[in-house]
Amino acid sequence: MRFGILVFPGTWSERDCYHALTECMGQDAEYVWHRETDVSRFDCLVLPGGFSYGDYLRCGAIARFSPVMDEVRRHAAAGRLVIGICNGFQILCEAGLLPGALMRNRSLQFRCEWIHLRTETTASPFTSAAATRQVLRIPIAHGEGSYFADAATLARLQDEERVAFRYCDAMGAITEAANPNGSLANIAGVLGVNRNVLGMMPHPERASELLMGGTDGTVIWRSMIESLVRIT
């Protein structure tokens, strides 16, 4: 499979994603500069973490206007996979490809630590290789990761099984203490309407080899790769 890893001014996690996909997962990957206007050669687009455009105005608020984002919208509308990680999640929300918004952490502190996630659905190309309610240990690194949406949107996400991950404790319990940033309903990742777009705050690329502390992130990459194989 061929992955396109988008790079905006200020992106800083593109190399981590490239390493995870090529060295850990054995896939083809290529960096895609934000001015690119043709991404048709890719099966999946990855919007990595970082501080696109210095996070001026709001995180992702300027990146949403980059030329490549029109291609991301077309890519998603065609049913192809798009994953936004951390700042990538923020950009997808700003671009209207995912509902809700990411706000300042409840603590008003940048949080960089390993946390636990509970897989809330396996009915997506990003979680299909996971076990039901499987707990994953994956790191976070963000200052504005508190997920917010109005009550109607939260209810719709729940009813349509579009909450992909929730912050939990090591045993899978959804608790206030396990929530690192104050996200509503402990939400750590959500799916788009057609389930082919995922945004998540934790970094699966940093949990893709034992040398870095764990391999639980490969569940997400493996789900995507296996899903792409099934549809090609």
Helix/strand/coil (H/E/C) assignment for every residue in 101-164 = EEECCCCCCCEEEEEEEEECCCCCCCCCCCCCCCEEEEEEEECCCEEECCHHHHHHHHHCCCEE
Concerning whether 86 is annotated as a catalytic residue, the answer is: yes
Which one is catalytic: 59, 86, 93, 168? 86
Concerning whether 205 is annotated as a catalytic residue, the answer is: yes
Cα(102)–Cα(72) distance, integer angstroms: 20
Concerning whether 176 is annotated as a catalytic residue, the answer is: no
Contact 180, 140 (CB under 8 A): yes
| Residues contacting 65, CB < 8 A, separation 6+ | none
Return the closest-CA partner of residue 60 out of 29, 84, 43, 27.
Answer: 84
Which residues form the catalytic set? Answer: 86, 203, 205
